[in-house]
């Protein structure tokens, strides 16, 4: 089991890696991870992924009470919705990554499955990504929209805002988020070029082989 000290360092190291590569900028985005005792470590409100301090992460106990650190992100209802509806969730990442946001605004993006089947890895790591409507930042209705999915999706894309991904641990959540952004980038690069996509049979083969959650 990962110790609290190690998890604090992992959160900050991975967040800085995403910031340094331009996946989220300024004070945008938020990240959380579950502790062994059921509590949560969460990035504070107004913080930058580039300068997170392990000692100042918001610390919630298993009952959802803030017991240490700075004031948490205003997007806590969004994070809580994933932890409450998906028991396997060990971490949640939310970014304002450019290509994913761009994809969320295009009129022909499929709201039930926003990523076209361009590579096996987006299918493996994300399953189907649901497009949710626009909400005011911090609106608790975002969390309610995620709860409305009843735990059937590991990733969503908030229109005109950005993606949110849940994973079994902090590394899985970050890697899946990066796959989402890279696939959105591929989708935009190949837009109008009639790319050769994976067939339905190929997608089903990936789903079966790697036991991917793939809601019909």
pLDDT digits 0-9 by tens, 116-153: 999 999 999 999 999 999 999 989 999 999 999 999 99
Structure confidence at residue 216 (pLDDT): 57
Name the residue ranges covered by the structural domains of the chain: 4-209
Structure confidence at residue 51 (pLDDT): 98
Distances in whole angstroms, Cα of residue 135 to Cα of each of 22, 78, 117, 158, 166:
24, 11, 27, 8, 19
What strand order describes the sheet that includes 66-68? 66-68, 58-60, 40-42, 30-34, 91-94, 162-167, 155-158, 130-132
pLDDT digits 0-9 by tens, 35-68: 999 999 999 999 999 999 999 999 999 999 999 9
Q: Which helix (H) or strand (E) holds 181?
A: helix 170-189
Residues assigned a catalytic role: 75, 121
| CATH topology assigned to domain 4-209 | L-fuculose-1-phosphate Aldolase (3.40.225)
User: Could you give the CA distance from residue 106 to residue 34 in angstroms, rounded to a whole number?
Assistant: 34
Mean pLDDT confidence for 93-107? 98
Supply the mean pLDDT for the chain.
96
């Amino acid at each position: 089991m990962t110790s609290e000290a190690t998890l604090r360092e992992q959160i900050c190291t991975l967040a800085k890696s995403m910031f340094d590569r331009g996946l989220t900028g300024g004070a945008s985005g938020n990240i959380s991870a579950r502790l062994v005792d059921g509590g949560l470590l969460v990035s504070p409100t107004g913080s930058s992924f580039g300068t997170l301090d392990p000692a100042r992460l918001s610390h919630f106990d298993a009952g959802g009470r803030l017991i240490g650190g700075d004031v948490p992100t205003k997007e806590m209802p969004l994070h809580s919705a994933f932890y409450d509806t998906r028991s396997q969730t060990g971490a949640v990442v939310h970014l304002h990554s450019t290509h994913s946001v761009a994809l969320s605004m295009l009129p022909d993006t499929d709201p039930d499955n926003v990523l076209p089947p361009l590579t096996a890895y987006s299918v493996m790591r994300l399953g189907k990504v649901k497009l949710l409507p626009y909400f005011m930042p911090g609106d608790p209705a975002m969390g309610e929209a995620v709860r409305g999915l009843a735990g059937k999706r590991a990733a969503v894309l908030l229109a005109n805002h950005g993606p949110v991904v849940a994973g079994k641990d902090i590394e899985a959540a970050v890697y899946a988020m990066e796959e989402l952004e890279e696939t959105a980038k591929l989708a935009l690069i190949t837009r109008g070029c009639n790319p050769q996509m994976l067939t339905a049979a190929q997608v089903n083969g990936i789903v079966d082989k790697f036991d991917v959650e793939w809601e019909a």
